[in-house]
Structure 1
Amino acid sequence: MGVKGEGAAGGQVPAAPTAADLVLARDRLLGGRTGAHQTGRLAPDALREALTDLHEFWLTVHAAHAGVRSDSEGIALLAVGGLGRRELVPYSDLDLVLVHSGHKGINGIAEQLWYPLWNSGVGLDHSVRTVPEALDVAGRDLRTALGLLDARHLAGDETLTRQLADEARDAWRTGVRRRFDEIVSSARQRWQRSGEVAHWVEPDLKHGRGGLRDLAMLDALALAQLVDRPSGEVAQARRLLLDARTELRRIAGRPRDVLMPQDGDEIAAVLGIGDRFALARALSGAGRAVAYALDVALRSGQPGPRKVLGVLRRTPARRPLAEGVVLAADEVTLARDVDPSKDSALLLRVAAAAARTGRPIAPGTLARLGESAPEPRAPWPAEVRQELVSLLGAGEGLIDVVEALDRTGLWARLFPEWGAVRDLPPRDAAHVWTVDRHLVQATANAARLVTNVSRPDLLLIGTVLHDIGKGRGTDHSIVGAALATQVGERLGLPEKDVATLSAMVRHHLLLPHTATRRNISDEATVRRVVDTLDGDPVLLELLHGLAESDSLATGPGVWSDWKAALVADLVSRCRQAMAGERPEGPKPLDDAQRALAESVAASRKPDVLVESGPVATITLVAPDHPGLLSQAAGVLALHSLKVHAAELRAHAGVAVDTFSVSPRFGSLPDKALLREQFTRSLSGSLPLAEKLAAKERDYADVPDDPPAPRVLWFDDEADGGADSADVVLELRTADRLGLLHDIAAALEKCGADVLWARAMQVGGTAIASFSLAPTSPAHGSPDWRHEIEKAVLAAC
């Protein structure tokens, strides 16, 4: 047991147990390596307490033998990290600081403390510093600064410990705002490396987003008085994460922080949680609680505008994003005069604006929407459904927005079916995400493919629902198809679209399974797929996009070049067996539009017809001439009008351009002002291009990673096939303010004669069809098409 020594006050220093004694005692506390079958097993919290006491006793006794005693002056031993917080989990490194005020024999004392631990294999993270040295390192190294916040005295001069701990905490409080960018950057880099506790199948309980490191960050921000102390929900999450990490290491018999599915059943049994799937859901909920609390803390703790004599230098600008939605202090919030209880589309407008801009929704806004935002009545109005599609098509920005809505109960208000898949761990080992996160991630992937399909709205809705049938104990494709029908009817989709949506969910595995498990060169294989899809080419292209989005969101390597090529080949063979359809032309003029056209034909003066409604109709009529469409579209863009559909027609020698629009914010422009600006644009006295460029800079809302624009050509087969003069160009691209103006201007510069045009906006995607008639023989050549295509894509 070692040799007894004399204490400074004349008392006996206890005989020092060896490091081997420490390891032996530790293993006895852990119950050896027999896991849950060991009798007398300590509960996780009791085990952490016992491990802390054991190591603290060993360290204080050895410190006394090395000369670091209670009556020592100018030298102290401190614990930081898990030992400092008294949260020591099995096989953790001991984080120790030997602090001194110029002690001559400090190196010898350090060796007496450190070497026995090293030789026994106990992990050790140590430093020997004076108080100024420790503070200097903390000022340069964030990890050291955070560690000193947990400093706890073990042995020696307690006054020195208190000095270092107090000065470290004071330095943290006064300097935290200057280090805020470093704090955020460090957290994001760690999340990038370690993933998320909430949604990963193999979560890193310590370093992952929503893990124990994030809890330490929350404590540090609360210590700096930037945020309140964590809530009771976060405290429960801390206990579960600590208990799970404790049991994981006890079972593994070594340092491990990544929880593998095969460890889940034993840990769940010890914690009384059921099986590994129940444990996974519980940990997912805990990770979400911690991650959300830290997100809010990092936003609220950000340095704001400086004060001058106690007064803010300037009020944060409030930039309008949509009707009733503004950006203020880098958060999406409600306009001052909006009433959430009277606007069923407001929730989705807020969510879509946040997802498009990549800015978070203010916590107060989420709370207010949760209290008073009504559920959209079934069937949903078209404008509410449009906002849902806009949200789903926002790409990566969708993920954090859905998380915020789900945390506050708002997502379930839109999709009550979501509860069965929330935090649901997958049964398939290929999946790396929980089922709910997989659905959202797949939808974010689908947003990059919307230009590959003629119905981007159905691609996005079908993707977010494709696994909605999981967690119900039967074939998820069959259950999911029934649920998709239920959702589609609630959303107010037409009957045919509901059937297509249901078929997407029912057959979402058809293409990848057929392509990888069957002979796709066999005509019977292709015919089987075509018959299953009832020969529907739209459903075929939707399933193609869904297959890629789904596979990419499953896990690394699931969507390979080989698999992509096989699926594309199968789709190509199936498409050849189906008849493609030329885009539909514009509808005939109604009586009011025909009367206005005849009036303008007689007067030769431009005029405007405005018909209000949730989606208003604005018809601009003028004597036909080149450039008319781009000027009409440009005038509407000047008033921040969102164009849902456009039709260009002619009657009695005048052009009749009809637009279905809604204001992005505010109300419809005055009819007289529209007529005046339209007339000025035609005469050239309105600098349209210059004004549009300035407006687009102010209100750009295109996602950071928009889908690639795509151009398709359709020949008029009824008039002679490929040699026909009349061809249709279809453009699919990300929508933005002024897009239709730019595309029309590009066509006009190429000398194309636009016979008719039809455009629609589906979520964040614009689909525009232009019937083009060449004005010279050279215009019908492939080079002419290439020139037009190049100009149109450049305009996107």
Structure 2
Amino acid sequence: MTTTERAARTAQADALCQQAYGDNAGLTQGATLVAVGGYGRGELAPFSDLDVVLVHEEGVELGELPTKLWYPIWDSGAKLDHSVRSLPEMLEAAGADVRVALGLLDVRHLAGDASLSLRLRSEVLAHWRRQARERLPELRQLVEQRHAMIGELAHVSVPDLKEAAGGLRDATILKAIVATWLVDVPHTDLEPRRQDLLDIRDHVHDLAGRATDRITPELWAPLAERLGLPDERAAQRHIRQVGRRIRHLSNLTWRRVDAVLSRPRAAAPRRPELTPLGTGVAMSAGEVVLAKGADPRRDPLLFLRAAALAAENDVILAPPTVARLSAQTPPPTGVWSQEARQLLVRLLAAGRGLLPVWETLDETGALMRILPEWEAIRLLPHASVIHRFTVDRHVIETCVEASSLIRHVARPDVLMVAALLHDIGKGGLVEHSVAGAPIARDVAIRWGFDDEAVDLIETLVRWHLLLSTTATTRDPDDPATVAAITAHVTNAEALALLTALTEADARATSTKAWSSWRASLILDLSRRARAALAGGASLPAVLSDDVEIPRSVKKGGTSFEVLRHPDGERVTVIGADRVGLLADTAATFAFQRLKVRAARAWAQPPYAVSVWDLAEEGVDAAVLRSGFEAISEGRVDAAARLRPTGPDPLAPSVVVRPEASTQSTVIEVRTADRPGIVYLVCHALAALGMTVRSAHVDTLGPQAVDVFYVQEAHAGALGDQRAAEAAHAVRAALSGDST
């Protein structure tokens, strides 16, 4: 089945319609017979209907033509969808229904008054362009409703070549969007894929012996033979790849439409404005691009940084930008740096914004640079019909679900990587969790995770089905049931991670996989296992290393010492111990937009010492000291400048851990990583007259996981009421509710 054969079918149908019009004395002026929709485009499949309209000038009498015209066509055996309308009625119908307007964009003259056909086409197209800003939101709503009802061509078990997301209907709509002149679509990508789907639909019609757009299971094998592919799996991958490409182009195009519609009607500036997002990365017209002067050859992290920022802002990662990054960024070698790993985890934990960015990386081939193992699961169908998506899309959906659970685990970076890799072993002959565990271990080592994290990732991938399988098939009251879990998951931290991964995996599978019944069984078993382990993730030990106090500090000053450190700088700050000292120090770094990777603080009476590891290089101690003095002397209002400006998509977690220390009250904070977190916490505690005796600050992917050992200024651990006040104040400060 080829374009040539479709052209032959169209020519045969045209001849039939033209003969019927001529044999029945069709008017040559004032009336015209036109083809619309797929027939108008000349894309008839073997069993397609002929969509035709007899159009006439207002006031022109057609006599018996409408009655006689259709019979010869019916008698030929062709299926006919016909109507009779005046030119004003046609334009009115197009104005009233966007679906009619879409069909008329492809109007094609068949017989009669050619000038009337031309007028119709010209006026419909002109009206479409004039009303595009009003019609496109309506069309977008229809598209989203159809996608929600039918699903995606790349993933549904019985694909619909026409109506599914990424199908022929979407390809036609993309052409209609191009006709508005508001945005463009890469024609070199769209048209070949559209022709591929038309070829496939022709085969489906021919094999089914009727008009159908759905590929039922029994059609995959003969389709593979028709397409010259080795087997059913190859046919599925080919067809789903075509659908996913069109879906990807559709997503990009609609986002560009949104960007255009959000701008005023006035002409946009000739040079697009660049809004900085991060080092070497900027936003232009709703798309992430490279900033002026950015050089991927000198900044190998630019690739991951652009992807992470695009996902976190839920905007397009411009495909030309990806192409340039892929071509110019040196390929990663050896073990990844901490910053590269952090950027990857930020990308994975970005939530729903991850999906379009990951698709762009996949469609452009850039994904192979960071995860070549991806090819094994790319567009791989699931064996179980309970799955909504192919394996590759499922693991990304699992990442999206896991991103909402990162506050429940001590190692969100481990959770996100395990979510990405949990099905990496699928597609082979060995059970996928067994096959995937060593692959995941190798990937985690390559990405630079520490030994403990590597072991956790391997364990999670190996046993990611353990909780769900055991909970739904074993008696929860039988001690052996809990023992089946604790035999493989031996500490509370790993169990919390496995519980979160199990929930994310199930939610990404289908609503049935995480029903209230299944969820209650799994969570109950997790609680029983946690009680059996009778432990928890350990908190960091209090750090207390006596250091030499500089003479300037003994005279009442504050010392800032900067030393080069792997992947950044290490800053040691020493000053007279006082309530609020740590808050002022944290504000100093926040104002300089310095990324704090980790910090430790302790008291060395009557002084206080803090050590800060920063991501940036070239930190100037004199600049830090000057900024600190402005803050501590009250010349700069740190509280006003560092107050959160927008809501955290996940509520901050603030937990008092009474079991963690007998000398201090331990407060554990988890919130979205952003400048000023340590300041906000320390400032809130200082306002209550409390002192932070030790702080342990870590950034795990997109989440800050900070632990503060807090005391009354001169009295040791907090009482229960004061601890509750502290937790409330910290939570309010991080939420932007504090005054």
Give the TM-score normalised by the residue count of structure 2.
Answer: 0.90
CA–CA separation in structure 2 for the residues paired with 1:306 and 1:515: 56
Matching of residue 437 in structure 1 with residue 437 in structure 2? no
Deviations 1:614-638 (A, max 9, x none): 3322333332222222222222212
Please tell me whether the aligned partners of residues 543 and 694 of structure 2 are also in contact (alpha carbons under 8 angstroms).
Answer: no
Matching of residue 548 in structure 1 with residue 503 in structure 2? yes
2:708 aligns to what SS in structure 1? strand
Matching of residue 610 in structure 1 with residue 553 in structure 2? no
Please tell me whether the aligned partners of residues 516 and 563 of structure 1 are also in contact (alpha carbons under 8 angstroms).
Answer: yes
- Counterpart of 1:674 (choices 624, 637, 642) is 624
Displacement after TM superposition at 1:510 (Å) = 0.7
Letter matched to residue 403 of structure 1:
E
Deviations 1:503-525 (A, max 9, x none): 11111111111111111221122
Q: Which residue of the partner structure matches residue 689 of structure 1?
A: 639
Q: Which residue of the partner structure matches residue 728 of structure 1?
A: 666
Please tell me whether the aligned partners of residues 664 and 716 of structure 2 are also in contact (alpha carbons under 8 angstroms).
Answer: no
Matching of residue 771 in structure 1 with residue 709 in structure 2? yes
Please tell me whether the aligned partners of residues 480 and 505 of structure 1 are also in contact (alpha carbons under 8 angstroms).
Answer: yes
Displacement after TM superposition at 1:502 (Å) = 1.1
Please tell me whether the aligned partners of residues 438 and 458 of structure 2 are also in contact (alpha carbons under 8 angstroms).
Answer: yes
Alignment of 1:217-616 (within 5 A): 217-223=173-179, 231-251=187-207, 256-298=212-254, 303=260, 313=269, 316-533=272-489, 535-578=490-533, 579-589=535-545, 594-595=547-548, 597-599=549-551, 601-613=553-565, 614-616=567-569
Please tell me whether the aligned partners of residues 344 and 384 of structure 1 are also in contact (alpha carbons under 8 angstroms).
Answer: no
Which region of structure 1 is more displaced relative to structure 2, 118-127 or 164-173?
118-127
Letter matched to residue 380 of structure 2:
L
Alignment of 1:89-168 (within 5 A): 89=45, 92-106=48-62, 109-110=65-66, 126-168=82-124
Deviations 1:152-207 (A, max 9, x none): 12232222112212333344456546755555555444434433223333333223
CA–CA separation in structure 1 for the residues paired with 2:501 and 2:614: 30
Please tell me whether the aligned partners of residues 202 and 432 of structure 1 are also in contact (alpha carbons under 8 angstroms).
Answer: no
Change (3 A) 1:115 1:745: farther
Matching of residue 792 in structure 1 with residue 730 in structure 2? yes
Displacement after TM superposition at 1:758 (Å) = 0.8
Please tell me whether the aligned partners of residues 598 and 652 of structure 1 are also in contact (alpha carbons under 8 angstroms).
Answer: no
Change (3 A) 1:654 1:259: farther
Which region of structure 1 is more displaced relative to structure 2, 736-745 or 321-330?
736-745
Displacement after TM superposition at 1:419 (Å) = 0.7
CA–CA separation in structure 1 for the residues paired with 2:79 and 2:694: 75
Change (3 A) 1:668 1:312: farther
CA–CA separation in structure 1 for the residues paired with 2:75 and 2:677: 70
Please tell me whether the aligned partners of residues 410 and 537 of structure 2 are also in contact (alpha carbons under 8 angstroms).
Answer: no
Displacement after TM superposition at 1:424 (Å) = 1.0
Which region of structure 1 is more displaced relative to structure 2, 239-248 or 422-431?
239-248
Change (3 A) 1:585 1:114: farther
Deviations 1:233-275 (A, max 9, x none): 5343223312333344455566543434454234333433343
Displacement after TM superposition at 1:672 (Å) = 1.9
Displacement after TM superposition at 1:138 (Å) = 3.1
How many matched pairs? 730
CA RMSD, Structure 1 to Structure 2 (Å): 3.3
Please tell me whether the aligned partners of residues 697 and 705 of structure 2 are also in contact (alpha carbons under 8 angstroms).
Answer: yes
Displacement after TM superposition at 1:763 (Å) = 0.9
Matching of residue 715 in structure 1 with residue 668 in structure 2? no
CA–CA separation in structure 2 for the residues paired with 1:623 and 1:510: 53
1:72 aligns to what SS in structure 2? coil
Unaligned 5+ runs, structure 1: 1-42
Please tell me whether the aligned partners of residues 319 and 364 of structure 2 are also in contact (alpha carbons under 8 angstroms).
Answer: no
2:632 aligns to what SS in structure 1? helix
Change (3 A) 1:625 1:778: closer
Which region of structure 1 is more displaced relative to structure 2, 143-152 or 200-209?
200-209
Please tell me whether the aligned partners of residues 600 and 623 of structure 1 are also in contact (alpha carbons under 8 angstroms).
Answer: no
Matching of residue 640 in structure 1 with residue 583 in structure 2? no
CA–CA separation in structure 1 for the residues paired with 2:214 and 2:510: 17
Q: Which residue of the partner structure matches residue 584 of structure 2?
A: 631
Letter matched to residue 431 of structure 1:
H
Displacement after TM superposition at 1:319 (Å) = 2.3
Letter matched to residue 432 of structure 1:
R
CA–CA separation in structure 1 for the residues paired with 2:439 and 2:576: 52
CA–CA separation in structure 1 for the residues paired with 2:484 and 2:79: 62
Change (3 A) 1:632 1:775: closer
Please tell me whether the aligned partners of residues 716 and 726 of structure 1 are also in contact (alpha carbons under 8 angstroms).
Answer: no
Displacement after TM superposition at 1:609 (Å) = 2.1
Alignment of 1:1-12 (within 5 A): none
Deviations 1:315-346 (A, max 9, x none): 54422222111112221111211210122211
Deviations 1:375-405 (A, max 9, x none): 2222111111111111111111111111101
Deviations 1:756-783 (A, max 9, x none): 1111111101111112235699985544
Letter matched to residue 599 of structure 1:
R
CA–CA separation in structure 2 for the residues paired with 1:213 and 1:635: 56
Change (3 A) 1:109 1:516: same
CA–CA separation in structure 2 for the residues paired with 1:90 and 1:108: 31
Change (3 A) 1:115 1:725: farther
Displacement after TM superposition at 1:214 (Å) = 2.3
Which region of structure 1 is more displaced relative to structure 2, 683-692 or 289-298?
289-298
Q: Which residue of the partner structure matches residue 649 of structure 1?
A: 602
Change (3 A) 1:292 1:584: same
2:509 aligns to what SS in structure 1? coil
Matching of residue 86 in structure 1 with residue 42 in structure 2? yes
Which region of structure 1 is more displaced relative to structure 2, 131-140 or 380-389?
131-140
Letter matched to residue 760 of structure 1:
D
Please tell me whether the aligned partners of residues 62 and 113 of structure 1 are also in contact (alpha carbons under 8 angstroms).
Answer: yes
CA–CA separation in structure 1 for the residues paired with 2:113 and 2:614: 75
Please tell me whether the aligned partners of residues 607 and 620 of structure 1 are also in contact (alpha carbons under 8 angstroms).
Answer: yes
Please tell me whether the aligned partners of residues 550 and 559 of structure 2 are also in contact (alpha carbons under 8 angstroms).
Answer: no
Displacement after TM superposition at 1:110 (Å) = 4.0
Please tell me whether the aligned partners of residues 552 and 559 of structure 1 are also in contact (alpha carbons under 8 angstroms).
Answer: yes
1:759 aligns to what SS in structure 2? strand
Please tell me whether the aligned partners of residues 75 and 103 of structure 1 are also in contact (alpha carbons under 8 angstroms).
Answer: no
Please tell me whether the aligned partners of residues 35 and 52 of structure 2 are also in contact (alpha carbons under 8 angstroms).
Answer: yes
Q: Which residue of the partner structure matches residue 737 of structure 2?
A: none
CA–CA separation in structure 2 for the residues paired with 1:548 and 1:104: 67
2:333 aligns to what SS in structure 1? coil
Letter matched to residue 420 of structure 1:
A
Give the TM-score normalised by the residue count of structure 1.
Answer: 0.84
Which region of structure 1 is more displaced relative to structure 2, 385-394 or 775-784?
775-784
CA–CA separation in structure 2 for the residues paired with 1:444 and 1:762: 16
CA–CA separation in structure 2 for the residues paired with 1:231 and 1:315: 24
Which region of structure 1 is more displaced relative to structure 2, 386-395 or 370-379?
370-379
CA–CA separation in structure 1 for the residues paired with 2:557 and 2:67: 96
CA–CA separation in structure 2 for the residues paired with 1:632 and 1:288: 50
